[in-house]
């Protein structure tokens, strides 16, 4: 959505021009994670803008007063698909007046319309830099024109009848969005991203959890439906990420509790996979297992990744063994049908090289964490504390001479401690 941010559900054509205008929480949560990582890997400012715009959309249009995230916005308004999002040239002329010539050219707006029934979808085909060079105008001037036009059109769009809101708050989808926010905070250090993440995490703990058990859905102040494996998998993943974004041990403990509950109540030790439904839930004729990744990762692949990362973070050999057995079940399928097991494949990739254990101890642990996150390195876990911690990988790790100290470890074997992020990267890449 060029004006309001956020992603529609899918493209209806091979050119990725016309979207199906429905906006789903699960898409936007995963894409925030993706573009945050893409920015960390490339420093492409477009990716940063997409993250900020997408989170802005979620905060503005999908966040409940209690801190949960709603499920979706419909494609239709007033009985017409996309009506809220498209524009005739005459409408743009009325809003922008004589300043719309370059704006319309940038977004492919025509008098006849670039879509159906004389309507236009805002669809840039060049970057601002490319368009500026084409027109012989400075990038700053084009940015000013585009930004001003977008603000005016967005303000005008607010007076339209809005698409319907699906105001269910689903535990699993909230987990995906929470992880997206935590990933964005790790990369950009934006305080508002962390505030939204913590608000949502506390909401989930207070409203969609009873003891060790999760509920799947929340609406009108009531949680319903016993949690599925996807709820445990995606929320635990979000908590693991939130710990590494904050070094706050409560989130790692919460992830551990969810993983433990899942093993006790979902795990099939005979097949080394997890059932989709809880053993304590209503009995079904058959309890299925979700194996293949789709638009949302399979709950088994997500849980396998959780157990792998938690196994390292908590030095829990049981978790590591279960994750390894799960991965071995699909190894051949990854080689032959990888397009259906992409999330599994990312776990497989983590085994091709030893996972780095980066431990930060000392008064500047948070400052060091932020600096480390500026460099993309997916096959790592991070632990840290300003003082002391009971976590196994932090035991006997001290701030030498009171200075913040970094330990780079592989399989719990650490290299010489260092006192700067530059020295840490030299060890890691050496």
Mean pLDDT along residues 148-171: 96
b/e per residue, 362-387, with b = 16+ CB within 10 A? bebbeebbbbbbeeeeeeebbbbbee
**Among 31, 24, 26, which residue's Cα sits nearest to residue 8?**
24
Query: Residue 396: its pLDDT value, please?
Result: 87
At 256, list the tokens: 């551990």
The answer, yes or no, to whether residue 98 has pLDDT greater than 70, is no
Q: How many CA atoms lie within 13 A of 117 on its CB side?
A: 6
Alpha-carbon dihedral of residues 265, 271, 276, 279, nearest 10 degrees?
-30
Query: Residue 157: its pLDDT value, please?
Result: 97
Mean pLDDT along residues 64-78: 96
Q: Label residue 100 by pLDDT band (50, 70, 90).
A: confident
What gap in Å lies between CA 96 and CA 108, rounded to an integer? 15
What gap in Å lies between CA 83 and CA 95, rounded to an integer? 17
Q: What is the pLDDT of residues 246-305, one digit of tens each?
A: 999 999 999 999 999 999 999 999 999 999 999 998 888 888 999 999 999 999 999 999
Mean pLDDT along residues 171-191: 98
Predicted TM-score of the model (pTM): 0.96
DSSP 387: S
What gap in Å lies between CA 261 and CA 270, rounded to an integer? 18
Mean pLDDT along residues 213-241: 98
Contact 309, 256 (CB under 8 A): no
Mean pLDDT along residues 49-75: 97
Contacts with 268 (C-beta within 8 Å, 6 or more apart), sequence order: 274, 275, 289
The answer, yes or no, to whether residue 6 has pLDDT greater than 70, is yes
**Among 299, 259, 310, which residue's Cα sits nearest to residue 275?**
299
Contact 326, 272 (CB under 8 A): yes
Query: Residue 286: its pLDDT value, please?
Result: 84
Q: What is the pLDDT of residues 55-66, one digit of tens each?
A: 999 999 999 999
∠ CA 309-313-315, nearest 5°, is: 105
Neighbours of 312 (CB within 10 A): 23
| DSSP letter for each residue of 13-71 | STTS-SEE--EEHHHHHHHHHHHHHHHHHH--HHHHHHHHHHHHHHHHHSB-TTS-B--
**Among 161, 154, 176, which residue's Cα sits nearest to residue 60?**
154
Distances (CA, A) of 206 to 37, 210, 222, 249: 30, 8, 11, 18
The answer, yes or no, to whether residue 430 has pLDDT greater than 80, is no
Q: Label residue 75 by pLDDT band (50, 70, 90).
A: very high
Contacts with 116 (C-beta within 8 Å, 6 or more apart), sequence order: none
Higher pLDDT, 317 or 390: 317
What gap in Å lies between CA 335 and CA 323, rounded to an integer? 18
Q: What is the pLDDT of residues 366-413, one digit of tens each?
A: 999 999 999 999 999 999 999 888 899 998 899 999 999 999 999 888
| Average pLDDT, rounded, for the chain | 95
The answer, yes or no, to whether residue 416 has pLDDT greater than 90, is yes
| DSSP letter for each residue of 59-103 | HHHSB-TTS-B--EE-SEETTEETTTT-B-HHHHHHHHGGGHHHH
């Amino acid at each position: 959505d060029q004006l309001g941010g956020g992603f529609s559900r899918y493209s209806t054509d091979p050119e990725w021009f016309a979207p199906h205008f429905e906006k789903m929480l699960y898409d936007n949560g995963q894409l925030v994670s993706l573009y945050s990582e893409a920015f960390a890997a490339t420093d492409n400012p477009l990716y940063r803008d997409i993250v900020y715009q997408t989170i802005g959309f979620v905060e503005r249009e999908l966040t409940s007063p209690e801190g949960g995230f709603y499920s979706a916005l419909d494609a239709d308004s007033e009985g017409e698909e996309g009506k809220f999002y498209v524009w005739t040239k005459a409408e743009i002329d009325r809003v922008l007046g004589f300043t719309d010539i370059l704006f319309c050219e940038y977004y492919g707006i025509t008098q006849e319309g670039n879509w159906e029934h004389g309507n236009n979808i805002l669809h840039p085909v060049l970057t601002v830099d490319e368009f500026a060079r084409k027109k012989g105008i400075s990038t700053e001037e084009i940015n000013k024109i585009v930004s001003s036009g977008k603000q005016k059109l967005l303000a005008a769009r607010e007076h339209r009848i809005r698409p319907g809101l699906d105001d269910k708050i689903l535990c699993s989808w909230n987990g995906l969005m929470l992880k997206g926010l935590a990933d964005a905070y790790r990369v950009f250090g934006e305080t508002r991203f962390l505030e939204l993440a913590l608000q949502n995490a506390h909401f989930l703990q207070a409203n969609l959890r009873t003891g060790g058990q999760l509920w799947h859905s929340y609406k009108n102040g009531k949680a319903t439906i016993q949690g599925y494996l996807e709820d445990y998998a995606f929320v635990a993943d979000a908590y693991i990420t939130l710990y590494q974004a904050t070094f706050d041990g409560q989130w790692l403990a919460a992830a551990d509790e969810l993983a433990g509950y899942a093993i006790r109540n979902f795990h099939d030790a005979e097949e080394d996979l997890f059932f989709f439904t809880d053993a304590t839930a209503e009995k079904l004729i058959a309890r299925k297992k979700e194996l293949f990744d789709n638009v949302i990762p399979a709950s088994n692949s997500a849980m396998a990744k959780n157990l792998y990362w938690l196994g390292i973070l908590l030095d829990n050999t049981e978790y590591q063994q279960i994750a390894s057995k799960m991965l071995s079940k699909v190894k051949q399928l990854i080689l032959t049908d990888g397009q259906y097991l992409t999330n599994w494949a990312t776990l497989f990739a983590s085994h091709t090289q030893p996972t780095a254990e980066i431990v930060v101890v000392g008064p500047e642990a948070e400052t060091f964490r932020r600096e480390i996150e500026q460099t993309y390195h997916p096959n790592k876990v991070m632990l840290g504390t300003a003082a002391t911690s009971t976590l196994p990988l932090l035991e006997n790790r001290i701030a030498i001479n009171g200075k913040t100290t970094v330990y780079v470890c592989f399989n719990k074997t650490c290299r010489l401690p260092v006192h700067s992020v530059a020295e840490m990267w030299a060890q890691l890449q050496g």
